[in-house]
Amino acid sequence: MKKKTIPFLLAFLVAALLLTAVFTFNQLNTAANLLSTLHPYAGAAFLMLAAASFLALFFSACQLFRMPRQPSLPENDSSGAMEEYARHSAERMPAHPMHPETNAEQKDLRWVKTNLKFLEVDALASTKEIATKNFFVGAFAQNTSYGTTTSTLNMLKLTWRIYSLHHKEQNLREFSSVLLGAYRLMPLSDFRKEEIPTHIKPIIQSAFSNTLSSLLPAGNLLAPLFLNLFMAGATNAYLTCLVGIITARRCQMLSEEDHREIVQQSTFEAAFMLKEIVRECNPVLSVTISNAVKKAGIESLDTVTPPSAGSGIAQDIVSHLASSIKHIMKESS
């Protein structure tokens, strides 16, 4: 099936391009003949202008989609090609304002590694910021098209932000390569069941953390609701952490050794960052849910009809009970 489909798609693409070219040339020729009736040189001038426009479009497209020159990754730090790769990396990455040698003329491997450390701090800060947002998006908009779209857009924004941090001049094709590379390293992109426990473990650990248990005393009726929202938010935040850290690691690769360690290091750092996010977000999530439930309960109790002269004993008991519960809920909030 695949061997037959690819030739068909290529033939269809070539035919579509040829038909488009013939149609465009025919329309331009018709317009040029019409202009020639107004002035002898108007048609030729129009065709020259159209040709110049197409050439400008072609060259601008080449500049947009052309992959920047990139030397091959050295095998390790002691490789002979490392100095050349370090000089190339120094030319492409912006100097961090906190770098002690921002305007150094000779930017060697030591300069590059120092600069990458500062850029890494900024990348991790951006990752934590977006992951925190996605925690609440996952918690309150789980299993909705809005939540999925918002989380995906936030991850794309994070990837672009980290890529821009590490490159003075951005390239669409290079960014697409970084984005695709990060996606391929994400769990379940190439489904392997043996990967699942590694990525579920930090989410489960955060669910049974001391912070969460202190917010959910035994017998709390909100525990199932809170735990459901928490698990959705924590999963979303963990995946966002992975996206940001994997992207940062890919942008900071200096050797083949770094490439092989990306997944292992990213998983460990994402689990650690998730604990920090959970520690900060859980109190907010708990208070928000508790206040929302109390407010909804009080508003529901307000709808209970007060006793009247003709009401029975049952109505009096219900009204008195609703008033008492509402009073208790207001005092506890």
Same domain, 54 and 117: no
CA angle 280, 283, 287 (to 5 degrees): 145
CA distance 238 to 234: 6
Same domain, 49 and 157: no
Q: How many CA atoms lie within 13 A of 60 on its CB side?
A: 6
Same domain, 37 and 178: no
Same domain, 46 and 109: no
Residue 204 forms part of a structural domain: yes
- Which residue carries 């040698």 as its tokens? 101
CA distance 292 to 294: 6
Segment 299-311, tens digit of pLDDT: 554 554 555 555 5
Task: Give the number of domains in the chain.
Answer: 2
> In this structure, which amino acid lies at residue 281?
C
- Calculate what percentage of the chain has a pLDDT beyond 70: 74
What is the C-alpha radius of gyration for the chain, rounded to an integer number of angstroms?
30
CA distance 296 to 225: 15
Q: What is the pTM of this model?
A: 0.73
pLDDT at 268 over 90: no
Residue 149 forms part of a structural domain: yes
Decide: 26 and 14 in contact? Cβ < 8 Å. Answer: no
| Paired tokens of 152 | 């995906």
Decide: 282 and 211 in contact? Cβ < 8 Å. Answer: yes
- Calculate what percentage of the chain has a pLDDT beyond 90: 14
Region 250-265 average pLDDT = 77
Mean pLDDT score of the chain: 78
Same domain, 275 and 128: yes
Same domain, 113 and 54: no
The helix or strand, by DSSP H or E, that contains position 97, with its residue range, turns out to be none
Structure confidence at residue 305 (pLDDT):
57
Same domain, 152 and 19: no
CA distance 163 to 313: 71
Its domain, for residue 155, covers: 104-297
Residue 128 forms part of a structural domain: yes
Choice between 61 and 158, residue whose per-residue pLDDT is larger: 158
Same domain, 247 and 128: yes
Phi-psi region of 95 (alpha: psi -120 to 50; beta: other; left: phi over 0): beta
CA distance 143 to 135: 13
- Which residue carries 């488009």 as its tokens? 20
CA distance 213 to 275: 14
CA distance 77 to 254: 8
CA distance 129 to 97: 21
Same domain, 152 and 265: yes
Residue 162 forms part of a structural domain: yes
Output the CA torsion 195→196→197→199 (10° steps): 90
Same domain, 27 and 134: no
Same domain, 141 and 283: yes
Cβ contacts of residue 107 below 8 Å, gap of 6+?
86, 87, 90, 91
Decide: 134 and 236 in contact? Cβ < 8 Å. Answer: yes
Decide: 289 and 222 in contact? Cβ < 8 Å. Answer: yes
CA distance 272 to 131: 13
| Confidence tier at 109 by pLDDT (50, 70, 90) | confident
Structure confidence at residue 321 (pLDDT):
47
> In this structure, which amino acid lies at residue 295?
K
Region 55-83 average pLDDT = 79
Choice between 192 and 245, residue whose per-residue pLDDT is larger: 245
Residue 88 forms part of a structural domain: no
Residue 306 forms part of a structural domain: no
Residue 229 forms part of a structural domain: yes
Residue 145 forms part of a structural domain: yes
Task: Please give the backbone phi and psi of residue 314, each rounded to the nearest 5 degrees, phi first.
Answer: -60, -45
Same domain, 24 and 126: no
Q: Estimate the share of the chain in helix, then strand, then coil, as percent rounded to the nearest 5.
A: 75, 0, 25
